[in-house]
Structure 1
Amino acid sequence: MNPANPIGVFDSGVGGLSVLHEIRRALPGEDLLYVADSGHAPYGDKSRQFIEARSLAITEFLVSRHAKAVVVACNTATGAAVTTLRAKFLMPIIAMEPAVKPAAENTRSGVIGVMATSRTLVSDNFVKLFARYGEDARILGQACPGLVEQVEAGDLSGDKTRLLLEGYVRPLLEQGADTIVLGCTHYPFLAPLIQDIAGPDVTVIDSAAAVARQLRRRLEVVELLADAERIGTECFWTSGVLDKAKPLVAQLWKPDVQLYELPAG
């Protein structure tokens, strides 16, 4: 391992770009590799075995590109595969965790809502979070089918997206939630619309910045931080249709992206 080696990041699709933005902010000198498994999105309706197999295959690809650490920028993949990944690979594997702890610490009403995929809400990780912080606050899990697909389609503010969000956000508000946790990395791209529906008195939070800080800490411990004075690069791969994926990645990242087709595997 060498500090000049890149950091690998992957998600079921483009949602993990919300995490990549925070990683870039926290670690400007690092080279970043990003895999969007859009050809198999969403993960939320897939079996645990399928998600684990995809996570292993993508991590193997990132290792082949000399990744010094891997960020699983997907709550569903974290729940299904992170234990297996950590058992198989020696480099730091950084996982997602819905921001239930800060939500429970800061809620005024004592009620928080967690918007996530169905699989995330029934994962061992979330069940443990619920048990750990459920005594401090009433935690309402809200499955949100269809939202990942809207983000993957680049529809962040259209009528269909708003209608879906209203159906998921309003029940949380009606039960007294004053804090909403975004438990899927796709959802921060919908945060402005979620905030508009929820109103100014509701706090909307996600865990991307915390993941970036944890990544920095882990790299510091093993002395693998890149020179902060250099300018880091980014390179992207997708398992989806390249011509369809490139405009979306450009929309959510920046126009001049380097996007390649992920090798089959």
Structure 2
Amino acid sequence: MRIGFIDSGVGGLSILAAVKAKVPAHYIYVMDNRYLPYGEKTEAFIQARLAQLSALLIEKGAELIVIACNTATTQAVAALRQQFDIPFVGTVPAIKPAAAKFCQSGFTVLATPATCRSAYLQGLINEFAQDCSVKTAGSSELVRLAERKVWYQQDVSADVANELNSLGLLQPPPAAVVLGCTHFPFLTAELAACLPNTVFLDTADAIARRVQALTLAGTEEEGATESYDHLYISSGKLDEQQLVRVNDLGFDQYQHWSKPATTY
């Protein structure tokens, strides 16, 4: 089976790692870095662009697509499910489990600006955390810091601390933070160093279980002895260090797909 992933950067790799641990398959990861970060784009742009990328993945044989980006999921997954006849698994902030455990103390959703202002997020809060104290904090800078850490293995600790301080998250520290962007799990160590008594929640395991449930029959048919290849596609060019890292990140093949966003 071939499973596609879409994100504007490397954030979706945090979801891919959890899914790969449960589901043996051929993986195609599309990184739309030409338009990174999605959190600063309009809903119309994201919907049109995600339709383009989904069509690309289907052309390459994807039978299921994971939208490994909270922003893209909240703004485009409903339209994609209407437009294409394959399963889409989205990524949404862990509001429900956060409300179940931290309603009394309250919690903060740390996400991109687009996710924080989305009607989808507000709907989740209204449905599962209406009686809870829920704050939101939007950051595109943390997305960029995660990219620097993953690609170039830079020490971003001081920059993460500065960003959290500018967001007002250090005083007083929240009891729990929902990581509402798939980039942010890559910064867990830096976040925890700044907020040592805060609990962090993400949805990688839940998404992996969902993909596993949807693909169970297919993986059983393929058998455990099949070898799998994994393709990495970027919309923007990668430098030499990034090209080396693609292999380090577990991909056998790389392609540059340069088609620009359509007019919308």
TM-score band by shorter chain is 0.7 to 0.9
Does the Cα contact within 8 Å between 1:150 and 1:156 map onto a contact in 2? Answer: no
Question: Which residue of 17, 25, 30 corresponds with 2:25?
Answer: 30
Q: Match for residue 177 of structure 2?
A: 180
TM-score by length of structure 1 reads 0.88
Alignment gaps of 5+ in structure 2: none
Would you say how many aligned residue pairs link Structure 1 and Structure 2?
253
2:160 match? 161
DSSP-derived class of the 1:224 partner: helix
From 214, 220, 225, the equivalent of 1:218 is 214
In 2, Cα distance between equivalents of 1:136 and 1:26: 35
Please name the residue that 1:233 is paired with.
229
Q: Structure 1 residues 84 and 156, CA, compared in 2 at 3 Å: closer, same or farther?
A: farther
Give the direction of change, closer, same or farther, for the CA distance of 1:42–1:156 in structure 2 (3 Å limit).
farther
CA distance in 2, matches of 1:176, 1:55: 36
Please state how far the C-alpha of 1:250 moved relative to its aligned partner.
5.0
| Structure 1, gaps ≥5 residues long | none
Structure 2 distance, partners of 1:238, 1:20, is 16
**How many Å apart are 1:57 and its aligned residue?**
0.7
1:58 lines up with 2:53 in the alignment: yes
1:156-180 deviation line (CA, Å, top 9, x unaligned): 6343233223433xx3454562111
CA contact (8 A) 2:103 2:132 kept: no
Cα distance in 1 for partners of 2:106, 2:170 equals 9
Residue of structure 1 equivalent to 2:198 = 202
Q: 2:86 aligns with which of 72, 84, 91?
A: 91
After superposition, the Cα gap between the structure-2 partners of 1:247 and 1:139, relative to the gap in structure 1 and judged at 3 Å, is farther
The CA deviation string for residues 133-188 of structure 1, in whole angstroms up to 9 with x for no partner, is 223421111111311122223346343233223433xx345456211110001101
- Distance change >3 Å, CA 264–CA 153, structure 1 → 2: same
Matching residue's letter, 2:218? L
Deviation for aligned residue 1:44 = 0.8
What RMSD in Å do the two structures reach over aligned CA positions? 2.0
CA distance in 1: counterparts of 2:176 and 2:32, whole angstroms: 30
Q: Does 1:67 align with 2:31?
A: no
User: CA 1:136–1:234 in 2, change beyond 3 Å: closer, same or farther?
Assistant: farther
Asked whether the 8 Å contact 1:152–1:248 carries over to 2, the reply is no
Q: Measure the CA separation in 2 of the matches of 1:176 and 1:38.
A: 32
Residue 246 of structure 1 and its aligned partner are, at CA, apart by: 2.3
Asked whether 1:151 is paired with 2:146, we answer yes
SS of match in other structure, 1:153 = helix
Deviations 1:222-247 (A, max 9, x none): x3335351343311001122225424
> Displacement of 1:48 after TM fit?
1.0
The alpha-carbon distance between structure 1 residues 156 and 186, as it changes in their structure 2 partners (threshold 3 A), is farther
- Give yes or no for contact 1:94–1:214 (8 Å, CA) kept in 2: yes
Give 1:110 deviation, angstroms. 2.3
| CA distance in 2: counterparts of 1:248 and 1:166, whole angstroms | 31
Partner in structure 1 of residue 110 of structure 2:
115
* C-alpha spacing 1:8/1:54, structure 2 compared with 1 (3 Å): same
Q: Deviations over 1:104-137 (max 9, x none)?
A: 1122752111100111112222011110122342
